[in-house]
Amino acid sequence: MIFKSKIPAMPYLVWVAVFIAAPLFLIAYFAFTDRQGSVTIVNISDVAKFGPVFILSILLALLATVICLILGYPLAFIMSRMKPSYQRLMMMLIMLPMWMNYLLRTYAWMALLETNGLINRFFDLFGLGPFQMINTEGAVVLGMVYNYLPFMILPLYTVMIKIDNSVIEAAQDLGGNFAGVFLRIVFPLSKPGVLSGIIMVFTPSVSTFIISRMLGGGSNFLIGDLIEQQFLGNAYNPHLGSAISLILMIFILLSIALLNQFDADETEGVII
User: Digits of tens for pLDDT over the chain (272 positions)?
Assistant: 445 567 777 888 899 889 999 999 999 999 999 988 899 999 999 999 999 999 999 999 999 999 999 999 999 999 999 999 999 999 999 988 888 888 888 889 998 999 888 899 999 889 887 888 999 999 999 999 999 999 999 999 999 999 998 988 898 888 888 888 898 999 999 999 999 999 999 999 999 988 998 998 877 889 999 999 999 877 889 999 999 999 999 999 998 888 887 666 555 544 33
Measured from the Cβ of residue 164, the count of other Cβ atoms closer than 10 Å reads 10
Q: Per-domain residue ranges for the chain?
A: 51-267
pTM: 0.89
The closest of 237, 223, 231, 94 to 158, measured between CA atoms, is: 94
Contact partners, residue 180, CB within 8 Å, separation at least 6: 171
Q: Give the whole-angstrom CA distance, residue 201 versus residue 61.
A: 8
DSSP state of 21: I
Cα angle, residue 56 at apex, residues 51 and 61 outer, rounded to 5°: 125
Collapsing DSSP states into helix, strand and coil, what is residue 83?
coil
**pLDDT value for 193:** 93
Q: Give the whole-angstrom CA distance, residue 121 versus residue 124.
A: 5
Contact partners, residue 93, CB within 8 Å, separation at least 6: none
**pLDDT value for 30:** 95
The closest of 56, 253, 245 to 144, measured between CA atoms, is: 56
CATH superfamily, domain 51-267, is: MetI-like (1.10.3720.10)
